[in-house]
Amino acid sequence: MKKTLFFLLACALISPVFAEGERNPESGLSFRQLLSRVAVSNSSLALPEPEAAVVKDDLSLLADDRSWLTVAASDKYQRTRLLELGLDIVEIEKGVVRGFARESAVREISAGGFRIDDKVSIYNFDKDFPLADAAYHNFGETVEVLKQLAAAHPDETSLFSIGRTVEGREIWALRINPAEKGTAPSARPGAVFMANHHAREHLTNEVALLFAVWLLENKNAPEARKYIDTLDIHIIPTVNPDGAEYDIATGKYRWWRKNRSVNAGGSYGVDLNRNYDARWCEAGSSTNPSADTYCGPYAFSEPETRAIRDFVLARPNIKTLLTYHTYSELILYPWAGSAEPLENKTDLKVFETMAKAFAGFTGYVPQQSSDLYVATGDTTDWAYMQRRIFAFTFEMTPKRWGGGGFYPGAGVIEKVVGDNIKAAMYMLSVTDDPYKLAR
Ligand SMILES: [Zn+2]
């Protein structure tokens, strides 16, 4: 099966994203027009050819005793408690939540007085990645695209590793800044896009990577040029390549979430989005190493989160940050780790204004992160606490399990990427001074 999907990025057709002085992105029709011109075509940068699926028996998959549970839970406090008991909450509906849990966690959830309405073994819904979803970029292909971009746009970009994973893979950052290269400091306002903290959220890697492709292929369009020439932009498409590769290594999805640390007791993986030093391992995290929401033995125990920590702390110019996750179609902002709203009302106004604008471009629902459930140790709380960065989590497509869950198929890539390019461009448009939104 040959599958070539691509985004043609016709520079000459691009019109300005926002008119000069325009404050309200939701009325920016020219912006929508711009994105409507992201056409599908054969382009110089083709997606890789699909590889033959390598399907083999995998004993570690057979040893995976997780089930997909539906559990009655009426509010965020019950949901937070379920996270602590080891339920990896993926979906929330009125009165119930759904997610993964190991057998030991299932017992604890029952013992904790929760009603389990449904339970399906993980073996009943495996899917294949390499053939049906060949349009997705695995780690090797992602690195190849990043190298192609860096080679094709040497004046604007540099590509470097911000650290290595547990298994020794590089965590790559593509920098878009013609004035300063590599790790040289910059006084320009900084924007960071990162993805794939969670292994099975492969669509996030596509969004971050293809935004980089789009921005560089449109680098001479005035709207793109304005940001390239004034901002310090970094794109980190995969924070957890070990987990992402593990998830697809057998040709069947393994629904893997964490990294690939070997834990005390022999289980694998720490939840990287619970491992940041922001109220670390308080509410909404599990201390059980085999749980999908395991916070790790201590904050920043993992090389992947340490790489992000060191990257952010070394760059005091960063103003905005977007970390892509799937799924549920939500736009989330701090606090994640507290049920209380942000104390600083000016900052809260900026967060709310940005979230509402992001929603206008994506159709996702904006809300404070902890309105879902309280979950400590995530990227956005930490970035905001440390550096007052306006940091957002997107939970992208689909809206629910019925739309494919973590594996919505290659057919959604184009629309999700297109919608999210709009949101990403909006973030760039406020990165020079996010506080202008509160004035
Ligand atoms: Zn996630």
Examine the pLDDT at 111 and tell me if it is beyond 60. Answer: yes
Would you state the structure tokens that stand for residue 296, as one six-digit string? 């790790």
Based on the fold, state whether residues 232 and 302 are members of the same structural domain. yes
**What's phi and psi for 2, nearest 5 deg?**
-105, 130
Domain of residue 113: give its range.
66-126
pLDDT of 125 = 59
Number of domains in the chain: 2
Taking the centre of ligand 1 as the mean of its atom positions, its distance from the CA of residue 394, in whole angstroms, is 9
Q: Which of 8-17, 99-108, 115-124 has the highest mean pLDDT?
A: 99-108
Structural contact between residues 256 and 199, judged by C-beta atoms closer than 8 angstroms: yes
Distance from residue 327's CA to the centre of ligand 1 (Å): 7
What percent of the residues of the chain are helix, what percent strand, and what percent coil, each to the nearest 5? 35, 20, 45
**pLDDT above 50 (res 218):** yes
Residue 120 — very low, low, confident or very high, per pLDDT cuts 50/70/90?
confident
Does residue 1 lie within any of the structural domains?
no
Tell me, in angstroms, the distance from the centre of ligand 1 to residue 114's CA. Answer: 24
What are the tokens at 98? 């759904």
Instruction: Mark which of 100, 126, 152 sits at the end of a domain.
Output: 126
In this structure, are 237 and 320 located in the same domain? yes
Question: How far away, in angstroms, is 386 Cα from ligand 1 center?
Answer: 21
Q: What is the CATH number of the domain that holds 224?
A: 3.40.630.10
Q: Which pLDDT belongs to residue 393? A: 98
Could you tell me if residue 258 is inside a domain? no
Asked if the model's pLDDT at residue 29 lies above 50, the reply is: no
The whole-number pLDDT of residue 124 equals: 65
The position carrying tokens 């899917």 is 127
Q: Say yes or no: 182 and 325 in one domain.
A: yes
156 and 248 fall within a common domain: yes
Ligand 1 centroid, distance to 222 Cα (angstroms)? 34
pLDDT of residue 64: 76
pLDDT in tens, 135-194: 899 999 999 999 999 999 999 999 999 999 999 999 999 999 999 999 999 999 999 999
Looking at 109, 126, 143, the residue that finishes a domain is 126
Do 245 and 215 fall into the same domain? yes
Question: What pLDDT was estimated at residue 271?
Answer: 98
Residue 164's pLDDT is what?
A: 98
Provide the CATH number for the domain around residue 83.
Answer: 3.30.70.980
Give the Å distance between the CA of 272 and the centre of ligand 1: 9
Per annotation, catalytic residue among 206, 352, 395, 414: 395
Measured distance CA(307)–CA(239) in Å, rounded: 9
Query: Is the residue at 272 inside a domain?
Result: no
- Whether residue 364 sits in one domain with residue 223: yes
Please report how many Cα atoms fall inside a 13 Å half-sphere around the Cα of residue 188, on the Cβ side.
23
pLDDT exceeds cutoff 50 at 31: no
Is the pLDDT at 19 greater than 60? The verdict is no
Q: Flag whether 431 is in a domain.
A: yes
Let me know whether 346 and 423 are in one domain.
yes
H or E element at residue 39: strand 39-40
Strand partners, 294: 286
pLDDT at 24: 35
Q: What's the mean pLDDT when you consider all of the chain?
A: 86
323 CA from centroid of ligand 1 (Å): 9
pLDDT digits (tens, 9 = 90+) for 380-414: 999 999 999 999 999 999 998 878 889 999 899 99
Q: What is the mean pLDDT of the segment spanning 229-250?
A: 95
Spell 224-243 as b/e; 16+ CB within 10 A means b.
Answer: bbbbbeebbbbbbbbbbbbb
| pLDDT value for 131 | 62
- pLDDT value at position 173? 98
Q: What is the pLDDT of residue 344?
A: 98
> Same domain, yes or no, for 410 and 287?
yes
Give the model's pLDDT for residue 36: 40
In a shared domain, residues 83 and 156: no
**Whole-angstrom Cα distance, residue 394 to residue 204?**
9
For the cut 60, the answer to whether the pLDDT of residue 129 exceeds it is no
Known active-site residue 51: no
Could you tell me if 113 and 163 lie in one domain?
no
pLDDT at 400: 87
pTM: 0.81
pLDDT given at position 62: 57
Token pair listed for 278? 């922001």
How many CA within 13 A on the CB side of residue 311?
30
Residues 76, 88, single domain; the answer is yes
Q: How confident is the model at residue 15 (pLDDT cuts 50, 70, 90)?
A: very low
Do 332 and 303 lie in one domain? The reply is yes
Q: How far is the CA of 269 from the centre of ligand 1 (A)?
A: 14
What pLDDT shows up at residue 133?
81
The pLDDT assigned to 251 comes to 75
Which residues, in sequence order, are CB contacts of 114 under 8 Å at separation 6+?
A: 71, 72, 73, 78, 82, 85
Name residues whose C-beta falls within 8 Å of residue 20's C-beta, 6 or more positions apart in sequence.
none
